[in-house]
Amino acid sequence: MKQLIKKITLSLAGLSLLAACNKKLDIIPEGAPTPGNFWQTESDAIAGANAMYNLFDDENFYGRGYWWFINASDDMVTGRVKAEGDNIKDFNSSFIGGSYTEGQWKMRYIVIKRANDVIARVPAIPMDEKLKNRILGEAYFFSGLMYFELAYTYGDARAGVPIVKRDSLTGDRPIPRAANVNLVYDYIEQELKQAAAHLPYFDEYTSDNYGRPHKTAAYAFLSKMFLYKKDYANAEKYADSVILSGKHRLLDKFEDVFTMANNWTGEYIWSVYSNSKEPNGWGSILPGVMLENKAWGKFNGWGYYMPTKELYDSYEAGDIRREATILKPGDRFKLAGDSMTYASTNSLSGYQFRKYMEPFSYPAGVHVSPNVDHPATDLNLPLIRYAEVLLIKAEALIQQGKNADKEINMIRHRAGLKDVTGADMNELKKQRRSELAGEWANRHFDLVRWNDAKATYAKPLHGVNGTVIWPARNFNPEVHHVWPVPRNEIISSNGVVKQNQGWE
């Protein structure tokens, strides 16, 4: 993923993609195009599309960077002292301008720029029409997805994020923020609908193209976007576009979702994927970031984002997801081929997430990046999976006063729990937390959008032995419902891009 073409104009800084140890998406860059000879051939179109992916392997993209925001939730704590990360969790504005989250905005706009270039340039290239259609679908998908991640992170009713439309590519002049986040959501709707119209279903891909966007991934993010917009009818509609496609199903066992053998099975919708055996390949570093610091001398775990007792105790009696999700003292597990008993030597909470442990169960070098400072694995890190789509539909139904027992009980049944009747928002919230703990689904933003964050964060968090490991926090819902715009973006725009109110 770090094999980059050194210089491509029009913001194409690299033409690598999620190359694979099993040769899936094994993209080899070809030369260094110049303004006069690029966007002329089918190869150029492919290279331009591939460039959209190369930042995803950056540790601050789908690795630890954005996870400092998710770490604000009550499900986890920074596993070891890390001043900047601690300030983020405490909503202390002193982290603004620091390295952990500063690049989030810029990297996503780089992807948007590359997607815009593809959409503007590829239609005129004489090439295979089916391939052209797919490449355009990829570009619309990434444009929509990047705006979605930006919108709910930084945007609200007072200001959205800048929309860089393809008919206004007029140099590098700064663009002011949209008047409100719903305008951005409207734009995302257009982009993801175009993506769905252009893209094939996942099962139409050959294995060498696994990891590319597909039709139901576009529908799934449309559904989630409408849920965040509180347009519940459309959230239900597009969740049904996924469900009724017949392309997905829940795996029989919850723990099987988080195995490399099931990277591409029925629950897969969209994941961080890179099997490159380049030193900085292998996709998201999050599994290694969540691993015990130094991993008992066997791997370079970073020891961040450790589960709380609040999360562990939140599971209903008999819920098999708890033990599949969290390691507690005394649990048996495998590490580097050896059987071990879990006992943390340095985790602040005394727990660890178990979901992403499978790659580390094998000897070093088999399924883990050889770069010890980039502890990524070849396990797909789910950004959205079929179980979440079912829960999105359930929430949309409940919010419309409809019955969501069918969807809720599908989730409960796999967890080993009895059916419920008349499932309400309390049940929905419990299932989202239990099903999606430690995932990109974003517990913090769930609490924000449900207006539960202030009350939840007013309580301290505890470790395995019951002691307080994180004090109560003061969450101001008028300020902290969005994160601050990176300082560099405000400075580089000469103030055209404004900071979110209260974070100044």
Is the backbone of residue 438 left (phi > 0), alpha (psi -120 to 50) or beta?
Answer: left
21-32 tens-digit pLDDT: 333 344 333 344
- Contact of 443 with 75, CB cutoff 8 Å: yes
- Asked if residue 13 has pLDDT above 70, the reply is no
Query: Can you read off the two tokens belonging to residue 319?
Result: 């819920």
* pLDDT number for residue 274: 60
In sequence order, what are the residues at sequence separation of 6 or more whose Cβ sits closer than 8 angstroms to the Cβ of residue 177? 155, 159, 160, 161, 162, 497, 498
47-101 tens-digit pLDDT: 999 999 988 888 889 988 999 999 999 999 999 888 999 999 999 999 999 999 9
- Contact of 225 with 185, CB cutoff 8 Å: yes
* pLDDT number for residue 185: 98
* pLDDT number for residue 337: 93
- Asked if residue 5 has pLDDT above 60, the reply is no
- For residue 35, give the nearest of 3, 4, 6, 7 by alpha carbon: 7
Q: Average pLDDT, stretch 1-6?
A: 28
Task: Compute the mean pLDDT over every residue in the chain, rounded to the nearest whole number.
Answer: 90
8-state DSSP, 294: G
Q: Average pLDDT, stretch 155-168?
A: 91
Query: Can you read off the two tokens belonging to residue 348?
Result: 């602040």
* pLDDT number for residue 2: 29
pLDDT-derived band at 394, boundaries 50, 70, 90 = very high
In sequence order, what are the residues at sequence separation of 6 or more whose Cβ sits closer than 8 angstroms to the Cβ of residue 83? none
Give the number of C-alpha atoms closer than 13 A to the C-alpha of residue 349, restricted to the C-beta side: 30
Q: Which residue is listed with tokens 């239990």?
A: 434
282-319 tens-digit pLDDT: 678 999 999 999 999 999 999 999 999 999 999 999 99
| Amino acid sitting at position 466 | G
SS3 state at 235: helix
- Contact of 490 with 504, CB cutoff 8 Å: no
* pLDDT number for residue 9: 30
pLDDT-derived band at 36, boundaries 50, 70, 90 = low
Handedness of CA 134, 224, 286, 341 (dihedral sign): negative
Query: Can you read off the two tokens belonging to residue 307?
Result: 């589960």
Q: Average pLDDT, stretch 424-452?
A: 98
Query: 3-state secondary structure string, 330-384?
Result: CCEEEECCEEEECCCCCCCCCCEECCCCHHHHCCCCCCECCCCCCCCECCCEEEE
pTM: 0.92
- Asked if residue 375 has pLDDT above 90, the reply is no
* DSSP per-residue string spanning 98-127: STTTTHHHHHHHHHHHHHHHHHHHGGGS-S
**Residue 252: C-alpha distances to residues 6, 315, 387 (Å):** 46, 20, 12
* pLDDT number for residue 11: 34
Q: At what angle do helices 129-154 and 215-229 cross, to 10 degrees?
A: 20
